[in-house]
Structure 1
Amino acid sequence: MQGTENPSAWFEEWFNHPFYLQLYSHRNRDEAERCIHTILSLTELDRKPCHSVSVLDIACGAGRHALEFARLGYTVTGNDLSPFLLEEARKEAANGCLNVQLTGCDMREIKEQERFDLVVQLFTSFGYFTAKEEDMLVLQRVFDALKSGGWYVLDLINPIHLERTLVPHSCRMAGDLTVNEERSLENGRITKTITITSPAEERLNFTESVRVYAREEIASMLSETGFSLSTIAGDYEGSPFEATVSPRMMLFCRKP
């Protein structure tokens, strides 16, 4: 078994590996349903006819959220860089007879113009890149893809809560795989080194590294892009954001 030693490109290899879904199988449909219910309620898009609302799910992965939007009747596009995860999403859509458009490109290269009523970027799928300017480019791509009055929901880790609750090391089982995870919060990034050991004692190493944004910094970036920040939720149930206790920082923004 071989792994990657290049953290700057970690998302290209790790998200395209079959073990990724096995390690994160606890991210289930119930959680996705709660998250989507909160998004539709806080944006009040649940008051509009479903078929009239177009949704883009950035970094959609295997389609947990995109497929739930489709089940509700929304017009959905899911985008991801990983061919493996997109194929999993296609199979799930076919099994459920769901109509979802799936596209594969880097989030910095999304070219849509004024097409969507809602863009969602969920479960810490922002901050992958080395330079902050690249994250700003993603925000600009989202802004361009939205119709006037459209919503952008950006779901991030709450850095204050993360610092208080960070577990430096953990070990767990994922099926027959032993998973050791080492975590550190340094230089504005949360980095997790994952060592996967098979029953035959073969080892595979991966790294996840995500830039962590304070509320004030990401709010300033959104404003600079042109967004108006409406509200911040602290979890997938839509609880009000509290800096010291909320695990998530879900920013609800609108394009004028």
Structure 2
Amino acid sequence: MSTEHTAWFAAWFNHPLYLKLYSHRDASEARRCVETILKETSLAPQATPTPHILDVACGAGRHALEFSRRGFNVTANDLSPYLINCTRAHAEKEGLGITCTRQDMRTLDIDGSYELAVQLFSSFGYFDRNEDDAQVIQQVYRHLKPGGWYALDLINPAHLEKTLIPHSEKQVDELTVIEERSIANGRVKKEISITGPDGTHRFSESVRLFSSASIRTLLEQEGFEIVRILGDYGGTPFDSEHSPRMLLLSRKP
């Protein structure tokens, strides 16, 4: 396993170009996802006490901010100093009382317990070892109250295999972005080259792919009960061949 300082996610997610490249993942997409999760879990901010929500790998805070705007108590966590600072800055600008933490998801140790934990936009499966993925789920389980929900959002590998674009080039403002994508050894990999006025930057992504059966087994081994699986952020039922996403909604007994 790479160290935090050399792992692909530590380098890429801590660089300002990351948000530039993924600017199309916007607040409207986050709103749709949050609305679907709240509909499926029946959680409401009017409950007494107000439900607490943990965003395990919040990135720049799209989903954490949306939950907070709706009146929930939110804790947002991420390993990247850059991204957690973005979340904190957005929350302060909007006057939202989000608690921000910077921790490795494998060793989460946050005070309190939660009615809902979310792990969205393919923020699971980064590590080389299966044991690390299991450890993440163990930590989420430990932080949930009995009856608490876990919303885990993954790529559907069957759909990805049919739609993967091996090579693409695009302009993002003054930047030229070249992306090379492949699937090998159960992972989807991307090599990214970004050229701008200050030269060329290169980054990598490598995310483990899970079938619905394999992730179900992993969740159940750690104690979760699968309630349903959705196929997109709008709440369409999961279809193993055609759904772009695999949004699993599980509960801690």
TM-score scaled to structure 2, two decimals? Answer: 0.95
1:50–1:74 contact (8 Å) kept in structure 2: no
**What are the equivalent positions in structure 2 for 1:81-230 lying under 5 Å apart?**
81-112=79-110, 115-199=113-197, 202-230=199-227
User: Which has the higher relative contact order, 1 or 2, with Cα contacts under 8 A spaced 6 or more apart?
Assistant: 1
Find 2:232's aligned residue among 232, 235, 238. 235
1:156–1:249 contact (8 Å) kept in structure 2: yes
Aligned partner of 2:60 in structure 1 is 62
How far does the alpha carbon of each residue in 1:171-210 deviate from its partner, in whole angstroms, 9 at most, with x for none? 111111000000000000000000001146x211100000
1:51–1:75 contact (8 Å) kept in structure 2: no
Aligned partner of 2:20 in structure 1 is 22
How far does the alpha carbon of each residue in 1:109-163 deviate from its partner, in whole angstroms, 9 at most, with x for none? 1024760000000000000000011000000000000000000000000000000
Cα–Cα, structure 1 residues 121 and 50, in superposed 2: closer, same or farther, change >3 Å? farther
The Cα shift of 1:46 comes to: 3.3
The Cα shift of 1:90 comes to: 1.1
RMSD: 1.7
Identity %: 51
Q: Distance in 2 between matches of 1:100 and 1:138?
A: 22
Structure 2 counterpart of 1:22, one-letter code = K
1:67–1:93 contact (8 Å) kept in structure 2: yes
Is 1:255 aligned to 2:252, yes or no?
Answer: yes
Structure 2 counterpart of 1:183, one-letter code = R
How far does the alpha carbon of each residue in 1:40-63 deviate from its partner, in whole angstroms, 9 at most, with x for none? 001111385286110000110110
Cα–Cα, structure 1 residues 215 and 114, in superposed 2: closer, same or farther, change >3 Å? farther
Q: Give the gaps of 5 or more residues in structure 2.
A: none
Find 2:7's aligned residue among 6, 9, 21. 9
Aligned partner of 1:3 in structure 2 is none
TM-score scaled to structure 1, two decimals? Answer: 0.94
Q: Distance in 2 between matches of 1:57 and 1:173?
A: 31
Q: Distance in 2 between matches of 1:169 and 1:65?
A: 30
Structure 2 counterpart of 1:188, one-letter code = G
Structure 1 counterpart of 2:80, one-letter code = S
Q: Distance in 2 between matches of 1:113 and 1:99?
A: 16
